[in-house]
Amino acid sequence: MNQKPAPRRAVSRGGQSSRRPTSPRQPLPPDSLANSLSLAAQLVAAVIEGKALTEQLAQLRHGHPNPDINWGAVQDLTYGTLREYGRGDAMLAPLIQKPLPTLIHALLLVACHRLEHRPDQQHTVVDQAVNAAAFHAVGLKGVVNGVLRNLLRRIDELRAKADRDDAARLCHPDWWIKRLRRSYPNEWESVLAAGNMHPPMALRANRRHLTSRQAQARLAEAGIEARLLDNDALLLDAPCPVERIPGFFEGQFSVQDAGAQWAARWLAPRDGERILDACAAPGGKTAHILELADARVTALELDPKRARRIEENLSRIGATAEIKIADCVELDRWWDGQPFDRILADVPCSASGVVRRHPDIKWLRRNTDIPAFAAQQAKILDALWQTLAPGGTMLYVTCSVFEEENRTQIARFCTRHADAKRMMIDNRIERIVLPNADHDGFYYALLRKDG
In-domain check, residue 232: yes
- 444 vs 332: CA distance, rounded Å: 28
Greatest Cα pair distance in the chain: 73
- 126 vs 108: CA distance, rounded Å: 10
**Percent of residues, the chain, with pLDDT higher than 90:** 94
Answer yes or no: is pLDDT of 137 > 60. Answer: yes
Answer yes or no: is pLDDT of 223 > 90. Answer: yes
Residue type, 301: E
**Percent of residues, the chain, with pLDDT higher than 70:** 94
Domain shared by 181 and 220, yes or no: no
Backbone angles phi and psi of 59, in degrees to 5 = -65, -40
Mean pLDDT across 385-391:
98
What is each CA distance from 304 to 308, 318, 326, 327, 354, in whole angstroms?
6, 21, 9, 11, 23
pLDDT tens digits along 111-132: 999 999 999 999 999 999 999 9
Domain shared by 268 and 334, yes or no: yes
**What pLDDT sits at residue 25?**
65
Nearest to 351 by CA among 381, 326, 319, 377: 377
pLDDT tens digits along 58-97: 999 999 999 999 999 999 999 999 999 999 999 999 999 8
Nearest to 446 by CA among 221, 265, 284: 265
Domain shared by 369 and 240, yes or no: no
| H runs (alpha helix) in 13-101 | 33-48, 53-63, 71-83, 85-92
List the end-to-end C-alpha distance of the chain, in Å, as a whole number.
40
In-domain check, residue 207: yes
Nearest to 446 by CA among 344, 375, 328, 354: 344
Domain shared by 82 and 96, yes or no: yes
Domain shared by 393 and 440, yes or no: yes
Cβ-Cβ contacts under 8 Å for 4 (sequence gap 6 or more) = 11, 48, 49, 50
Buried b or exposed e, range 282-298, using 16+ CB within 10 angstroms: bbbbbbbbbbbbebbbb
Q: Which domain holds residue 311?
A: 172-198+259-451
How many domains does the chain fold into?
A: 3
In-domain check, residue 110: yes
- 306 vs 122: CA distance, rounded Å: 42
- 248 vs 242: CA distance, rounded Å: 7
Nearest to 49 by CA among 117, 110, 102, 113: 102
In-domain check, residue 4: no
Answer yes or no: is pLDDT of 6 > 90. Answer: no
How does residue 5 score in pLDDT terms, banded at 50, 70 and 90? Answer: low
Domain shared by 146 and 25, yes or no: yes
pLDDT tens digits along 335-358: 999 999 999 999 999 999 999 999
Residues belonging to the active site: 399
- 20 vs 11: CA distance, rounded Å: 18
pLDDT tens digits along 420-447: 999 999 999 999 999 999 999 999 999 9
Answer yes or no: is pLDDT of 7 > 80. Answer: no
Answer yes or no: is pLDDT of 319 > 80. Answer: yes
In-domain check, residue 384: yes
pLDDT tens digits along 142-193: 999 999 999 999 999 999 999 999 999 999 999 999 999 999 999 999 999 9
**What's the DSSP call for residue 279?**
S
Q: Can you give the CATH number for the domain in which 109 is found?
A: 1.10.940.10
Domain shared by 252 and 343, yes or no: no
- 371 vs 412: CA distance, rounded Å: 13
In-domain check, residue 125: yes
How does residue 201 score in pLDDT terms, banded at 50, 70 and 90? Answer: very high
**What pLDDT sits at residue 22?**
46
Q: How many other C-beta atoms can be found within 10 angstroms of the C-beta atom of residue 373?
A: 22
Domain shared by 251 and 330, yes or no: no
How does residue 15 score in pLDDT terms, banded at 50, 70 and 90? Answer: very low
pLDDT tens digits along 405-420: 999 999 999 999 999 9
In-domain check, residue 48: yes
Domain shared by 82 and 155, yes or no: yes
Whether the bond into 282 is cis, omega within 30 of 0: yes
Nearest to 256 by CA among 344, 348, 354: 354
Mean pLDDT across 276-286:
97
In-domain check, residue 43: yes
Domain shared by 312 and 382, yes or no: yes
Domain shared by 277 and 302, yes or no: yes
Contact 347, 327 (CB under 8 A): no
Domain shared by 147 and 205, yes or no: no
Answer yes or no: is pLDDT of 215 > 70. Answer: yes
How does residue 140 score in pLDDT terms, banded at 50, 70 and 90? Answer: very high
Q: Can you give the CATH number for the domain in which 241 is found?
A: 3.30.70.1170
Backbone angles phi and psi of 450, in degrees to 5 = -70, 155
Q: Can you give the CATH number for the domain in which 433 is found?
A: 3.40.50.150
